[in-house]
Structure 1
């Protein structure tokens, strides 16, 4: 039984999403991520919209089918460009929630892009955020799975309290 199926026994609305780096997707799959059913750019509707092809894309595993999910799983093994989210929101709803975390304010008042779709950044982020920040960042995600140094790890709601 997969982790998603196990979790759906208590929360049926949970869905599986992949968060993918657009540049790596193109390099690995030979085609760009584009707005179509099951794909949503996190840069859509933001000042970075012109860079959507290179930015983060949220992909609904149910809508794109097993073949692409298998391709993404293979890509995850090859390059640090894929993480998996289990959440109850729709594709559009989850994308909007993730968009809220794209920009951070630096101590000097400048704004910076937070590349949390890169699994290497996400692991470090989870370790350095203060408890209140972790709660805010991860509260809408039931579980966030990724590879870290070749090992499967996950960050979940209960980790937001850690």
Structure 2
């Protein structure tokens, strides 16, 4: 009988599930749902990506169609602002247990940032189609995640509204 040789790098879904469960993105999943195989199923649905120092993961205005769950490494986020800075300004850093692209699970959108790896790292990618499949199998947990994304989005909208009010006030003062 022929011996089957499997690659030594088969995914260990339990390890992946443990890493995913630590992500801030999934902290909204209630304890009752955490014991039902939710994270094991997510481990089966995500795609792992490794990246090297200096690698550009996504550029500003590039279509983002997935949430990225960082599990290792350090990634800087920059925003082009040619009227204020030469080049781009560093606006955030993503490290272990952080996520990027959360709202893309609601609808794909253009990235507001360029992400560049500061070191070697790994991330898990959960795209819209995989999340839809997850939602069918674990609707309660998916609703908790979607509610968390919606709250985060509302917080961002409120911050933008406040910035616009401040800008409007500044313009009125300068125009007077």
Same fold by TM-score greater than 0.5: no
> Whose radius of gyration is greater, 1 or 2?
2
TM-score of the aligned structures, taking structure 1 as reference length: 0.30
